[in-house]
Amino acid sequence: MNDLLTVDDVFAGYGDIAILEGVSFRVGQGEAVALLGRNGVGKSTLISTLMGLTDVRSGTVRYRGEDIGKWPSHVRARRGLGLVSQEREIFPSLSVEENLVVATRAGSWTLERIYDLFPRLYERRRNMGNQLSGGEQQMLAIGRALIGNPAVLLLDEPFEGLAPIIVDGLVDAFRRLHQEGELGIVLVEQHAALALELTERATVLDRGRVSWSGDSRDLLAHPEQLSALIGLAEAAA
């Protein structure tokens, strides 16, 4: 498989605070990788590192084989890294459609294709960003990332805080995106079992280091190992 993103032995953090200590990670085209671990182990920091938003002390981050360590985050976004952060980052005073239009970059993702994936956004296209439910905001955040026509989609806890029926809809959309096979997807998720069902491979972090990396099905088949890695409550979620 062609790797889109490759992280090799990265040490990174915020100013003098070291968070990631020797993390290696990769995602290829058409592949979904889960990023798991207890609260505060560095999952979001790794996503931020991929986007160029942390201070990298050593190690390399490559995109399509090219060292992108010096690329600012807006260049990474323009070249193909699409981020859906926990903050969602939609414009509250723009309509749904305007939010999508301002994020558009040329490629196969168009307004029509976004509305086909999320019919709810079509129904709400004239609503302002601040007039949306949490689930609709998350659909819009994912739509905004997709219409930027990324090669890699980075999803930081996309199902967090949403009602089960809304999560089901987002999970369906996730499966569809994955089946289309165009994107590399990184899924940060607290609900480990769900994340493992949705992905081929998983990386588990523990206090800034990789504690496990391998086939998602293997970890799903060994609940005792999963709970030892990430805690009983998270494994059962």
Ligand X SMILES: Nc1ncnc2c1ncn2[C@@H]1O[C@H](COP(=O)(O)OP(=O)(O)OP(=O)(O)O)[C@@H](O)[C@H]1O
* C-beta of residue 170 within 8 angstroms of C-beta of residue 139: yes
**Closer Cβ to ligand X, 54 or 137, answer by number:** 54
Least distance from ligand X to the Cβ atom of residue 169, Å: 23
**Closer Cβ to ligand X, 42 or 150, answer by number:** 42
* C-beta of residue 26 within 8 angstroms of C-beta of residue 7: yes
Least distance from ligand X to the Cβ atom of residue 157, Å: 7
Least distance from ligand X to the Cβ atom of residue 112, Å: 34
* C-beta of residue 155 within 8 angstroms of C-beta of residue 194: no
**Closer Cβ to ligand X, 40 or 65, answer by number:** 40
Contact pattern for ligand X over residues 5 through 44, marking x by CB under 6 A:
---------x--x-x-----------------x-xxxxxx
Residue 211 burial (C-beta neighbours within 10 Å; 0-12, 13-18, 19+): middle
Burial per residue of 162-186, b for 16 or more beta-carbon CB atoms within 10 angstroms, e otherwise: beeebbebbeebbeebbeeebbbbb
Which pair of structure tokens corresponds to residue 210?
Answer: 């990789």
Least distance from ligand X to the Cβ atom of residue 37, Å: 5
Alpha helices for 5-93 (secondary structure H): 43-50, 73-79
Contact pattern for ligand X over residues 162 through 201, marking x by CB under 6 A:
----------------------------------------
Least distance from ligand X to the Cβ atom of residue 128, Å: 28
Does 216 engage in binding with ligand X (CB under 6 A)? Answer: no
**Closer Cβ to ligand X, 26 or 43, answer by number:** 43
Q: Which residues contact 150 (CB under 8 A, 6 or more apart)?
A: 77, 80, 81, 82, 183
**Closer Cβ to ligand X, 96 or 187, answer by number:** 187
Closest CA to 148 of 185, 114, 184: 114
Q: What is the binding site for ligand X (CB under 6 A)?
A: 14, 17, 19, 37, 39-45
